[in-house]
Amino acid sequence: MELMNKVVIITGAGTGVGRAAAIKLAAEGAKVVINYNQSEKEAHKVVNEIKQNGGIAIAYKANVANEKEVKELVSQTVQTFGSIDGLVNNASITAQIAMDDLDAVTDDIWDSLFNVNVKGMFYCIKAVVPYMKKQHFGAIVNMGSVAGMTGIGSSIPYAATKSAIHTMTKSLAIALAPSIRVNSISPGAVETRWWAGNEEKMYQLTGELPLQRISTPDDIAEAIVFQLTQKSITGQVFTIDNGQTL
């Protein structure tokens, strides 16, 4: 789809990949909704930056794990802009737990990660689908991870949620075709605040990657724009990892 004047909701858009995607989409002429849960100050900074560059954006607080709040986010978006053309499901949380420490993986951790990373994405999709179906048009991008492909990540529950996202993407692509396209991005290491305090480990990883670089949020944002605009792809999981999974 052409992005000019299209309305796109981006969850978790106050920082990192979500922020980069919002700025890039706005630069292409999209009207963006900056969703946040805890990063209020950062979200409003993104809105101000977009507006200063001549773009259109609003910030809206909603916890994606709360279906009522998600419905309100979508309803407010439609009231403000009149439609919803794109959804970038970027909001996600993790838990830093050694892969072999099974006792540390509590029910609370399983529930919190699945509630945000998987059910939260589903709530967002479920809320926008009626509007997209009504206009016979829409594009959705779900943020996965190479952890969902390799099983190696910040924790076993995190890897499991990302694998679930990849599979859910394929299921929804079938269920919502032909009017709505659903795709996923599976990033490797990305230089975001998740590496805070572990920069040395990040730099060590760089040397082990075939392309000898860590992706930036802008790298992932470019792929998000592609998935939103390319009309011939659906049900695809794009791996962007500088050769990490090789």
Could you list the active site residues?
158
Which DSSP letter does residue 234 get? Answer: -
AA letter at 119:
K
Q: Find the largest Cα–Cα distance for the chain.
A: 51
Which DSSP letter does residue 78 get? Answer: H
* The two structure tokens encoding residue 4: 């000019």
Contact 72, 48 (CB under 8 A): no
CA 154, CA 9: separation in Å to the nearest integer?
A: 27
Those residues whose C-beta lies under 8 Å from the C-beta of residue 140, and which sit 6 or more positions away, are 86, 87, 88, 89, 125, 128, 172, 176, 180, 181, 182, 183
Residue whose pair of structure tokens reads 């990540």 in the numeric block: 153
